[in-house]
């Protein structure tokens, strides 16, 4: 167990049980919201570094990891954003920062612009900017569904390599261990919402200091998307990690933190 990991816990917030991992415990609070098929534990290696300066709470988004799941829950973007608002309120976190990756960045934005909680700042890591009438998200749904179904049957790191060929053995083992906790209908809904729910209006509503981190090899955010986002909200900082794909810290850990800089603690 990492020395930075203090504990895992559950809290009842926004009407559901939310599981989280807490790292560090010192400094300003940061809520880390993972992407579409990333349980909290898979972001532990990032949380450990963040914990050197921050009190870090890594969420299991509903339908993933050890948080509430099942057919009776709403897996839409607004519901997941309300979870973050409820989570911060339930733990009494005062003006935490939000760091979200991919789907988690979309959740962070929607939570921040809801007007229901005060968040200090937003680090938006390569959010999908597909939507109605826009370029589709580059990953395809079967990539997620096929790997989840194999994980539900039992898959090892070698089998997971077919889906994540550049990952380390440790990263593959962790994904193979935890991917089965991703509830397939939750993942399908989130993926479809990438194309149904346009988040560009949210960029215009952000009032907090915000950073948009773009993966140079991700194909998720194109130059024309950056230009549109800056036109909507010129205050948003844009940083790039040139040699990383969409899973930025997996591809270039040091580059991720170089691009993040001191943004969370300014």
β-pair type (28-33, 54-59) = parallel
| DSSP state at residue 3 | S
Residue in the structure block whose two tokens are 């917030």? 13
Pull the structure tokens for residue 63. 């339908």
Query: Can you count the helices (H) and strands (E) in the chain?
Result: 11, 8
Q: Are 260 and 211 in contact (CB under 8 A)?
A: yes
**Which candidate, 125, 128, 129, places its Cα nearest to that of 33?**
125
8 A C-beta contact, residue 224 and residue 129: no
CB of 58 closer than 8 Å to CB of 40: yes
The residue behind tokens 């050890």 is: 66
Distance CA 17, CA 69 (A): 9
At 169-213, the pLDDT tens digits run 999 999 999 999 999 999 999 999 999 999 999 999 999 999 999
Residue 45 has pLDDT above 80, yes or no: yes
Cα gap 11→18, rounded to integer Å: 5
User: Which tokens go with 79?
Assistant: 């519901």
Structural domains of the chain, ranges and CATH numbers in brackets: 5-135+198-265 (3.40.50.1820)
For 231, other C-beta atoms within 10 Å of its C-beta total 11
pLDDT digits (tens, 9 = 90+) for 111-156: 999 977 689 999 999 999 999 999 999 999 999 999 999 999 999 9
| pLDDT reading at 1 higher than 70 | no
Q: Find out whether 100 and 23 touch, Cβ atoms under 8 Å.
A: no
Cβ atoms within 10 A of the Cβ of 266, count?
A: 9
How far apart, in whole angstroms, are the C-alpha atoms of residue 236 and residue 225? Answer: 13
Helix (H, G, I), strand (E, B) or coil at 5: strand
Structure tokens at 263: 């943004």
Q: At what angle do helices 103-112 and 184-196 cross, to 10 degrees?
A: 70
* Cα–Cα dist 181/87, whole Å: 20
83-111, pLDDT tens digit by residue?
999 999 999 998 999 999 999 999 999 99
pLDDT at 254 > cutoff 80: yes
């Amino acid at each position: 167990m990492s020395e930075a990991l203090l504990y895992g816990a559950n809290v009842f917030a926004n009407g559901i049980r939310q599981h989280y991992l807490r790292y560090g415990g010192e400094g300003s609070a940061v809520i880390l919201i993972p992407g579409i098929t990333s349980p909290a534990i898979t972001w532990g290696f990032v949380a450990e570094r963040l914990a050197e300066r921050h009190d870090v709470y890594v969420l299991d988004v509903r339908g993933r990891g050890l948080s509430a799941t099942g057919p009776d829950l709403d897996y839409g973007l607004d519901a997941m954003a309300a979870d973050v608002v409820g989570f911060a309120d339930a733990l009494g976190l005062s003006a935490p920062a939000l760091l979200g990756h991919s789907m988690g960045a979309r959740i962070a934005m929607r939570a921040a612009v809801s007007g229901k909680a005060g968040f200090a700042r937003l680090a938006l890591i390569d959010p999908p900017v597909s939507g109605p009438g826009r370029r589709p998200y580059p990953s395809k749904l079967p990539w997620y569904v096929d790997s989840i179904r194999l994980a539900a049957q039992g898959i090892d790191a070698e089998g997971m390599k077919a889906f994540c060929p550049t990952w380390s053995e440790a990263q593959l083992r962790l994904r193979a261990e935890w991917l089965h906790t991703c509830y397939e209908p939750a993942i399908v809904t989130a993926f479809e919402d990438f194309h149904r729910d346009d988040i560009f209006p949210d960029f215009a509503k952000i009032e907090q200091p915000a950073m948009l981190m773009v993966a140079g090899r991700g194909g998720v955010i194109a130059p024309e998307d950056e230009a549109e986002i800056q036109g909507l909200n010129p205050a948003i900082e844009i940083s790039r990690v040139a040699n990383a794909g969409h899973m930025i810290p997996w591809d270039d850990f040091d580059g991720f933190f170089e691009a993040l800089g001191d943004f969370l603690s300014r």
